[in-house]
């Protein structure tokens, strides 16, 4: 049975080498790797390539479950998709094998903890932002739309929302928001 590997890190400055080495050592004939957040499946093209390619009897191997998904819903969706295709999921660093009842139970527990960890990280980040704002250190990101220029183009040059959006390279909805108009 062919074994295919999937490696993922969250940021561009992180390295995939350790995961790839572990997957090769576990017998993966093909390894797909990417640098993308694991909180959502959007934008994870390498994972999608694997999911589309896998055939009945194949094995999808990861080093740890949190490399595959960071939310319980995504993890369950992926596992359901794999099961429907007749594909097993295994991890090199965790006793996960979706071909066994114990492996499935352990997978669910790890999924809950991965999501919990993500939620804790998000809460800590928000607390840090609130504290920085209270100290006047954090101002948020700089506005990406020049409100005065949008209004000037509307009033002085009599441009419509589409023309303003094209000229400033912003969305038309943003122009409407700035002008206080709601397009119906």
Which entry of 10, 37, 71, 174 is annotated as an active-site residue? Answer: 10
CA angle, 80 then 83 then 88, to 5°:
120
Q: What are phi and psi of 3, to 5 degrees?
A: -115, 120
Instruction: Give the whole-angstrom CA distance, residue 4 versus residue 8.
Output: 14
Instruction: Give the whole-angstrom CA distance, residue 10 versus residue 15.
Output: 10
* Residue 88 parent element (H or E): strand 88-91
The two tokens of residue 74 are 């995504």
Q: Is 10 a catalytic residue?
A: yes
Is the distance from CB of 54 to CB of 60 less than 8 angstroms?
yes
- List the catalytic residues: 10
């Amino acid at each position: 049975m062919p074994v295919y590997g999937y490696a993922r890190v969250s940021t561009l400055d992180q390295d995939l080498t350790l995961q790839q080495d572990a997957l090769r050592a576990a017998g993966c004939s093909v390894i797909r790797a990417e640098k993308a957040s694991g909180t959502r499946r959007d934008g994870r093209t390498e994972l999608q390539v694997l999911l589309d390619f896998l055939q009945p009897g194949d094995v999808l191997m990861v080093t740890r479950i949190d490399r595959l998904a960071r939310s319980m819903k995504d993890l369950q969706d992926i596992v359901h998709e794999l099961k429907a295709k007749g594909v097993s999921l295994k991890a090199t660093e965790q006793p996960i094998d979706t071909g066994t009842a114990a492996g499935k139970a352990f997978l669910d527990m790890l999924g809950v903890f991965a999501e919990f960890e993500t939620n804790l990280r998000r809460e800590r980040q928000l607390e840090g932002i609130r504290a920085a704002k209270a100290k006047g250190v954090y101002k948020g990101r700089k506005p990406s739309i020049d409100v005065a220029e949008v209004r000037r183009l509307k009033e002085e040059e009599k441009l419509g929302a589409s023309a303003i959006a094209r000229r400033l390279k912003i969305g038309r909805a943003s122009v409407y928001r700035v002008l206080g108009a709601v397009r119906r």
